[in-house]
Structure 1
Amino acid sequence: MRLVLVFSLFFHIFNTSLSLNQEGLYLLEAKRGLDDAGNALADWNPRDATPCNWTGVFCSPPLTPSSDPIVTSVNLSANNLVGPFPAALCRLPSLASLSLSNNYINSSLLDSSLRPCSSLSHLNLSLNNLVGPLPAALASLPALLYLDLSSNNFSGPIPPSFADFPRLERLSLVNNLLNSAIPSFLSNVSTLRELNLSYNPFTPGPIPAELAQLHSLEQLWLASCNLIGEIPPELGRLANLTNFDLSTNSLSGPIPPSLTQLSSVVQIELYHNSLSGRIPSGFSKLANLRQIDASMNQLEGPLPEDIFDAPLLESVHFFDNHLTGSIPARLSRASNLVDLKLFRNRLDGSLPADFGKSSRLVSLDLSDNLLSGEIPAGICDHGVLEELLLIDNFFGGSLPEGLGRCRTLTRVRLTNNRLSGEVPAGMWGLPHIWLLELKNNSFSGGISPVISNAANLSNLVISDNQFSGGIPSEMGALCKLYEFSASNNRLTGPLPSSLGNLAELGQLNLRNNSLSGELLRGIESWKKLSELNLAYNDLAGGIPQELGDLPVLNYLDLSNNMLTGEIPVQLQNLKLNQFNVSNNQLSGSLPPLFANQVYRNSFLGNPGLCGDLSGLCPASEGSRARHGFVWLLWAIFILAALVLVVGVAWFYWRYRNYRRSKLGMDKSKWTLTSFHKLGFSEYEILDCLDEDNVIGSGASGKVYKAVLSNGEAVAVKKLWGASNRDADNVENQIVDDHFEAEVATLGKIRHKNIVKLWCCCTHKDCKLLVYEYMPKGSLGDMLHSSKGGLLDWPTRYKIVVDAAEGLSYLHHDCVPPIVHRDVKSNNILLDGEFGARVADFGVAKAVEAIGKGPKSMSVIAGSCGYIAPEYAYTLRVNEKSDIYSFGVVILELVTGRLPVDPEFGEKDLVKWVCGTVDQKGVEHVIDPKLDVCFMEEIQKVLKIGLLCTSSLPINRPSMRRVVKMLLEVSPDKAKPEKRDGKLSPYYYEIASDQGSIV
């Protein structure tokens, strides 16, 4: 009977395989070599006669009525496929197009796998995990027209065989790890129409002038390729070139006048180089030119008179240069101009009076120049202007009335000019505007009630003007308002009660006006208010006790008003960095927290405040009687509290005994796995799992502090189990993955800057991880709590170096390398001496295992504010993602700020630091708690943090390089450290760089 079953099964399989043609069998063989965790290829049914209806398979009609259709194209893009390149696909004799883009194809691409693809004309393997050298055999494919290997990890030089492509038209090697110099032999591929080599760490070298021989070339993309030297004038002979991109390199010298001969060019990108000299004239001859960007260079002299005469010109960027002279009058004739950015130059003169009447201008930024005159009246005549940025110039006169009708405006920044007159009434209520910044001008008039129509207004900055009148109650309708700064004006009247409705309000600065009436009450909505400055007004009445309930208020200045009454004791609830109620008419005794020398300058000029900050007011007879009654109430309260505490303690003692007895019954069923020599047993750990020992709780579980019989303390993480959370299978899988990742990673790591995992204990769905105990807690808690003052600069520097060495060990010294995937300040723990350890490896992965289908992404990798920008479009994390997250930690240490904060608006910490440094200088981002004597070191570390958070992954240094740079910041503090009797390798690197002999 068994033999019959076996024979029947064999016959069934044999019969099934006979029903599928040979091409289908090749495809099934290819599928077997891949991990199809998402079942994207579930319909690849071996019972079908042909594979032509399978996902991603496309066929041409049969050659004869009796033959099968022929597979000509396979497109399996974005299917979460994992594994090596499926060489069986190359056995398809007529396969002309193959795309495996955006998967997890890994390992090396072998010549032997590719040679059979003789019919292939289109090959797209972009966005995968391929490593090793570029396969030389690609050039031997006779029909290949299109080759895209971008966004992989190919390394080494471009092989010489790439000079031999017989028909190749498009070659993209963007975003790999290719080194050596860009080879001149690519000029031999005369059929090339697109050459894309951007974002590779090529050896610094010049642009091969021989590329000018590629007469069919339409796209030359060499951004961020470590190019040096001058732009070869010969490139001007590329008559078919449409896209010319040499941005983000180190090119020097002038812009060759020959570039004005690129008759077909649509886009010229030369930004972020070191180009110098004058901008050549002649770009007006380029009939197809739409965009030109040579910003962030060292160009000088005036703008060419004909620069705006190119008939289709839409975007002109020459910001961050040394340009001088006036803006050509022909600007007003640029009928297609949409985007003009000339900020941070030395341009002077005025704008053409009719500028804007002919062009559909969307964005204009002329900030940081020497421009004067009036803003052109027709700047928004076409009604599409969105951004008007004219900061730091000498513009005068009044604002054009047309701006009040420019409903498309989103950002208006006119700070530091000489503008005057009233703001057009309609401008206050523009429906899409979210930033209106008019600071430091001479505007007059009042804030119009139509401001209630500005539903998207987030930042209203009108300080240092001559605005007068009252604050309209209609401002209470601005539900998105975060900042209202109107200091140093002539505003009068009371604060409208409607301001208490502004739930998003983070900063309210009305300093130095003539406001009267009482301070607002009913401000429970101000949950995000961090700064309140009402100093130098005529406000009267008492200080509302509700101010003490605002959770994030840390700047409070009510000085130089006419406030009366006592200081509410509730203000002690606030964590204030700035507190000033001086020069009012306050009276009574100080709340106990404020009765010390730290707050001496906060209460000056209030004669009614009794005492000298060292004691309380002498009590009168009446007050003694009142105090006696209060003491009686307190005594009754304390007695009742004692009874309650004793009752709760008795109940808890009974519950604890019951729980321990229950645990005791199950102790024998626990399994312990140790990773170090232990001086304790699992029983001691289980005895400490009481709620009074909880020191933390998060998404993955609770953390307990366990003090063992030998006096040693350990931290125990108890992962949530299904019984604890009523979880579904997906959540259970997340817990299992977290536990397995933590054990697999920490169980084999031995490093002084990685938290030590002593052991793990398991029983059914309950999982325990036992770590070394870190008494100072996490860096995030320490840095962003009231204890932040304990972290002086030497301590912060020590922490950042320790954490960097821990991450460097993971990236460079582990085999295979390990990516943490959730680097943040809360995952950096501190021992008693503020030594740092990297912790929480619940989503860590070995580099070779990253991206193994959906399972690897069952936990979102990273935390808000720390996630690298490329994660948004690749959904992948790698070593460069860790480096970005670590850069955010560096910025946290330097600034003392959270990675995301309502004060930043739509920005995160990285964007806030970059913007603030650009506009105000480095000193405005550094934590004020840090000693200025360390300013040079702090600024160096800040630069390292900004380098780590570069938006382009290829520009971020390796962790080994980060450690080296950090140690070079303060070599006297980075003393040679012995590990196993040997000096740290970083010490040898530094000594070698400095020419020392160790």
Structure 2
Amino acid sequence: MLLFLLFFLSFLSPLHLSLSLTQDGLSLLEAKIHLSDPSNSLSSWNSSDQTPCNWYGVTCHNTTVTAVNLNSLSLSGPFPISLCRIPSLTSLSLSNNFINSSLPSLTFPNCRTLRHLNLSQNTLIGRIPHSLSRISSLQHLDLSFNNLSGPIPSSIATLPKLESLILVNNFLTGPIPDFLGNISSLKLLHLAYNPFTPSHLPSQLANLTKLESLWCTSCNLVGPIPHSLGALVNLKNLDLAENSLTGTIPESFSGLKSVTQIELYSNSLSGELPLGLANLTQLESFDASMNGLTGTIPEGLCRLKLASLNLFSNKLEGSLPEVIVSSTKLYELKLFNNNLVGELPSNLGRNSPLNDIDVSYNNFSGKIPASLCNGGQLEELILIYNSFSGEIPESLGNCKSLRRVRLRNNKLTGIVPDGFWGLPHMYLLEVIENSLSGHVSNSISGAKNLSSLLISKNQFNGSIPDGIGYLGKLLEFDGSYNKFSGRLPDSMVRLSQLDNLDLSHNEFSGEIPGGIVRHWNQLNDLNLAYNRFNGKIPIELGSLHVLNYLDLSSNYFSGEIPKQLQNLKLNVLNLSNNQLSGDIPPLFANENYRMSFEGNPGLCGDLPGLCPSSGESKKQKYAWIFSSIFVLAGVLFVVGVGWFCLKYRNMKKLKKGINISKWRSFHKLGFSELEIVKLLSEDNVIGSGASGKVYKVVLSNGEVVAVKKLWGTTNNFNGVVSSEKDDFEAEVETLGKIRHKNIVRLWCCNNSGDSKLLVYEYMPNGSLGDMLKSSKKSLLDWPIRCKIAIDAAEGLAYLHHDCAPPIVHRDVKSNNILLDGEFGAKVADFGVAKVVGGVGPGAESMSVVAGSYGYIAPEYAYTLRVNEKSDIYSFGVVILELVTGKPPTDPEYGESNLVKWASSTLEQKGLNYVIDPTLDSKYTEVISKVLSVGLICTSSLPITRPTMRRVVKMLQEATTVPKSTSVKDETLSPYYYEEAHVHQGSVA
């Protein structure tokens, strides 16, 4: 009797207490019990109801449950088996959650009525179960963006009604199976981004006569494209990009009568474009870039209603047909890196809304068509490295939509249209190496967004107009090798953001006003060589603490060299061939700087022979020689004794000291390396980690440096190990040869075997990561966070785009972004940085993963293939940290991370639940745009992440473009394109 009572009580579970609830409702409640629901999204699922038809995500027909949609609710736990007990269930969607189990093989026979099954964007593991084949009514199966492994089961081919098979971005192996060609009902076959065994694309896929979309990007395909694919008359989208396909593009493609998009980029295809492509009357986008194609563009191809034509990085020859103007939908024309010749069609753009044209690195000639901006939408005009001639069309002076103009290395002549200088949205104007003439118009004051003005190596004349001072965003001004004259305008005092100013090889005259120089506190490079400047060198130059390059040679500067120049950390100093006199400042009075001062007769100082007297007698010469011999002998004697003493002392103190003979400097130092060694006490430790300690060292001259002391050679980053290269070696190799205002400076280093020292500039505000976690977080208001994001992005863009070959950081995180006294950000810690062969879709395989948990791109973690897209994902996480104020990993996210938390919270609860509550609400609109940039950067598909150069542009636009502007907000679009011109081994 007692046993019976216990059994009865145990039977009265919450499910069985709701005796009035339907059996469908009981199955749903059982599923709820086994799922973790942190956001309480299933709160409406209540056992007191009689029917579940009013529950969230539940759809009924009469009182019978027919569909369950629980997308994007942050649910976690195993697959809810009980849902398959609902007899009339036709649609089940659990997309974008954290379902983390394998798929039970015995579950799906019970889901016999399912027509739609969507389990995408979860963390499912294991193999695709064969039992799926027993759901005979299944029409749509989406298992994309999971962690499924193993081969595609052959039983899938037995599903008689399957129309969509979507398995994108998993870990599926084995070849793409032939039996997929037996699923005659299939309309969508998406297998992209899986590490399949290298194999041919099955020719049997031609049997899928109903197929409308075939997506096999990055599937390890090899060999030729099957000719049989031409039989797919209903195919609209064909994407075989980023594989290793060889051979020619099949002539049979002329049979793809319905196709609107063909993507074949980043393969090894060869031969000519098939003439039959001209018969594809529905084709809107054709991209065969980055292959080895030859020949000409079929004339008929340009009669189509193409919206996008991309054929760059091939070996195409011949001219561009005039009939390209027949395309009324053409908004993007990219043909760069080919051998195309002839002229651009004179009516190009007349009948189409051209937005972006790039025909760089070809052999085009003739005039720039005047009709390019007839549609009023042209934003990017890239014609570099061709032979275009004639004048810049007057019509482009009215093209208000233009943002990027690159016309360098052509044969353009004449005067630049007045309005062209002042286009309001243009941020890059590059006309280097042409034969343009005339004045720079004062209308340039209207180019409020201009950040790069590159007009060197032309024949511009006259003075720099006062309007230049209105370019408050100007970062780079290169006007070298022209015929400019006159004084620098006083209005240049307003260019406080200027980073690089090169006006060398002109005819400028007059003094350089110190009042102007004083405000250039962001200036990194200043080159005024080969002009007619006179007067004294402004002492204010000594206050430009970030100045790295100073060339004032071949002018008429007089007077003494300001001692304040010793405050600078210069890589290049050139004051030669002027009329300077007096003493050389002590820091520069050594042989290393001799060439910096030659050609100044009044500068003898302590550098013998810098200005030798022509009347010196032979007796004086011989006396000098003999005295030199005696001095040299004395020096050798002293050095010998000193060497003996030093060796003796090092032998006694080998375990305590540091071998000073292995110091290596990368900048001109104003301190002694020996002094650093003496100050490495435990009292000065400001940080410690697995690889060593960091010291703050205050030197006797008042300068402060940070010293990282490493030991051993094992790399360990938050538990993720990398042993490809010793930290010390990688850091020195990378930082020793790169220079940028947003990359932390490595002053010098010491390698003594067991103990290794790296001496950096000191960053008073520490790391961004520490700042966000500490009580100082309140100092990081939104404008400062914006500045940090842009600074760090510019540093990474320099690594990706301006270094040749490019450098991938591989450990981008908030702890590796350091902040100076004014919260300027610099990228640091290059212990696992890697030089890669190029920037683009290709990637280099690593032996192990490097990086930090929460920041590692998903594809890097499982493929070990690294390129710049890995850094971009990590930087996207940093942006999310700045927006949310939250760390990349936290128990709050469960088994998820900041990226998924931010996207799901944004979708379910809205923007206000994502933004750091300590930020001022008046910035909400701008924060929203920056958040969009972070989410785009952390896209799970590498191909949809923007380049780092594009990220800089997006952040600048998000934080500066006025709300009233008519220019479209690009930060909300997930697809971005940035030209990657490869020319003589470097990125243009």
**TM-score bucket (shorter structure):** 0.5 to 0.7
Matched, 1:332 2:325: yes
Q: How far apart in 2 are the matches of 1:47 and 1:218?
A: 47
State the match for 2:148 in structure 1.
154
- 1:443 to partner: Cα distance: 0.2
Contact 2:337 / 2:982 at 8 angstroms: preserved in 1? no
Q: Which one-letter code corresponds to 1:754 in the other structure?
A: N
Distance 1:605 1:345, change over 3 A: same
Matched, 1:138 2:132: yes
- 1:900 to partner: Cα distance: 10
| Equivalent of 2:477 in 471, 484, 488 | 484
Matched, 1:170 2:164: yes
Q: How far apart in 2 are the matches of 1:216 and 1:845?
A: 36
Matched, 1:570 2:552: no
Matched, 1:195 2:193: no
State the match for 1:970 in structure 2.
none
State the match for 2:787 in structure 1.
none
| Equivalent of 1:411 in 404, 413, 416 | 404
Distance 1:339 1:584, change over 3 A: same
Distance 1:796 1:781, change over 3 A: farther
Q: 1:516 is paired with a residue of what secondary structure?
A: strand
State the match for 1:503 in structure 2.
496
Q: How far apart in 1 are the matches of 2:496 and 2:489?
A: 15
Matched, 1:551 2:545: yes
State the match for 1:854 in structure 2.
893
Contact 2:582 / 2:605 at 8 angstroms: preserved in 1? no
Q: How far apart in 1 are the matches of 2:242 and 2:379?
A: 28
Matched, 1:290 2:249: no
Q: 1:300 is paired with a residue of what secondary structure?
A: strand
Q: 1:359 is paired with a residue of what secondary structure?
A: coil
Contact 1:242 / 1:267 at 8 angstroms: preserved in 2? yes
| Equivalent of 2:338 in 334, 342, 345 | 345
Which stretch shows the higher mean deviation, 222-231 or 514-523?
514-523
For structure 2, the 5+ residue unaligned runs are 1-7, 612-680, 698-705, 720-726, 737-742, 759-810, 817-826, 833-847, 863-887, 902-929, 959-977
Q: 1:790 is paired with a residue of what secondary structure?
A: strand
State the match for 1:28 in structure 2.
29
State the match for 1:958 in structure 2.
none
Q: How far apart in 2 are the matches of 1:276 and 1:375?
A: 31
Matched, 1:533 2:527: yes
Matched, 1:693 2:684: yes
Deviations 1:79-133 (A, max 9, x none): 2222221212212222222222122221311211222111211111111211221
Aligned pairs for 1:565-604 (under 5 A) are 565-604=559-598
Contact 1:575 / 1:786 at 8 angstroms: preserved in 2? no
- 1:391 to partner: Cα distance: 0.8
Aligned pairs for 1:106-505 (under 5 A) are 106-310=100-304, 312-505=305-498
Distance 1:26 1:528, change over 3 A: farther
- 1:229 to partner: Cα distance: 1.4
Q: How far apart in 1 are the matches of 2:755 and 2:980?
A: 22
For structure 1, the 5+ residue unaligned runs are 1-6, 63-68, 618-689, 707-714, 718-749, 758-773, 800-818, 831-835, 889-897, 908-913, 926-998
Q: How far apart in 1 are the matches of 2:124 and 2:610?
A: 74
Contact 2:334 / 2:357 at 8 angstroms: preserved in 1? yes
Q: Which one-letter code corresponds to 1:31 in the other structure?
A: K
- 1:332 to partner: Cα distance: 2.5
Matched, 1:753 2:712: no
Q: How far apart in 2 are the matches of 1:239 and 1:775?
A: 59
Contact 1:80 / 1:854 at 8 angstroms: preserved in 2? no
Q: Which one-letter code corresponds to 1:361 in the other structure?
A: L
- 1:449 to partner: Cα distance: 0.9
Contact 2:15 / 2:30 at 8 angstroms: preserved in 1? no
Identity of aligned residues (%): 49
Contact 2:144 / 2:169 at 8 angstroms: preserved in 1? yes
Aligned pairs for 1:858-897 (under 5 A) are 872-873=935-936
Aligned pairs for 1:905-916 (under 5 A) are none
Contact 1:279 / 1:304 at 8 angstroms: preserved in 2? yes
Q: How far apart in 1 are the matches of 2:263 and 2:136?
A: 34
Q: How far apart in 2 are the matches of 1:245 and 1:20?
A: 49
Contact 1:98 / 1:122 at 8 angstroms: preserved in 2? yes
Q: How far apart in 2 are the matches of 1:483 and 1:237?
A: 54
Contact 2:750 / 2:757 at 8 angstroms: preserved in 1? no
Contact 1:827 / 1:839 at 8 angstroms: preserved in 2? no
Q: How far apart in 1 are the matches of 2:21 and 2:733?
A: 60
State the match for 1:790 in structure 2.
749
Q: Which one-letter code corresponds to 1:365 in the other structure?
A: D
Contact 2:407 / 2:432 at 8 angstroms: preserved in 1? yes
Distance 1:20 1:595, change over 3 A: farther
Distance 1:616 1:589, change over 3 A: farther
Q: How far apart in 1 are the matches of 2:278 and 2:294?
A: 19
Q: Which one-letter code corresponds to 1:332 in the other structure?
A: V
- 1:19 to partner: Cα distance: 5.1
Q: Aligned pairs, how many?
A: 730
| Equivalent of 2:601 in 604, 607, 615 | 607
Q: How far apart in 2 are the matches of 1:385 and 1:273?
A: 30
Contact 2:813 / 2:852 at 8 angstroms: preserved in 1? no
Contact 2:160 / 2:183 at 8 angstroms: preserved in 1? yes
Which stretch shows the higher mean deviation, 38-47 or 598-607?
38-47
Q: Which one-letter code corresponds to 1:109 in the other structure?
A: L
Q: How far apart in 2 are the matches of 1:326 and 1:796?
A: 63
Q: How far apart in 2 are the matches of 1:230 and 1:186?
A: 19
Deviations 1:522-554 (A, max 9, x none): 344433321111111111222222222223221
- 1:501 to partner: Cα distance: 1.5
Distance 1:851 1:177, change over 3 A: farther
Contact 2:15 / 2:29 at 8 angstroms: preserved in 1? no
Q: Which one-letter code corresponds to 1:232 in the other structure?
A: P
CA RMSD, Structure 1 to Structure 2 (Å):
4.6
Which stretch shows the higher mean deviation, 117-126 or 106-115?
106-115
Q: How far apart in 1 are the matches of 2:812 and 2:17?
A: 46
Distance 1:567 1:71, change over 3 A: farther
State the match for 1:938 in structure 2.
none
Distance 1:343 1:877, change over 3 A: closer
| Equivalent of 2:982 in 918, 931, 950 | 918
Contact 2:854 / 2:889 at 8 angstroms: preserved in 1? no
- 1:38 to partner: Cα distance: 3.0
Q: How far apart in 2 are the matches of 1:97 and 1:263?
A: 33
- 1:23 to partner: Cα distance: 2.4
Q: Which one-letter code corresponds to 2:893 in the other structure?
A: P
Contact 1:82 / 1:853 at 8 angstroms: preserved in 2? no
Matched, 1:54 2:13: no
| Equivalent of 1:512 in 486, 505, 508 | 505
Q: How far apart in 1 are the matches of 2:755 and 2:685?
A: 27
Deviations 1:894-947 (A, max 9, x none): xxxx99999x9999xxxxxx988824534x99xxxxxxxxxxxxxxxxxxxxxx
Contact 1:589 / 1:616 at 8 angstroms: preserved in 2? no
- 1:693 to partner: Cα distance: 3.5
Q: 1:259 is paired with a residue of what secondary structure?
A: helix
Q: How far apart in 2 are the matches of 1:828 and 1:199?
A: 29
Distance 1:841 1:104, change over 3 A: closer
- 1:197 to partner: Cα distance: 0.8
Q: How far apart in 1 are the matches of 2:982 and 2:890?
A: 37
Q: 1:171 is paired with a residue of what secondary structure?
A: strand
Q: 1:539 is paired with a residue of what secondary structure?
A: strand
Distance 1:859 1:828, change over 3 A: farther
Q: How far apart in 2 are the matches of 1:421 and 1:875?
A: 46
Deviations 1:136-159 (A, max 9, x none): 122221221111111112111111
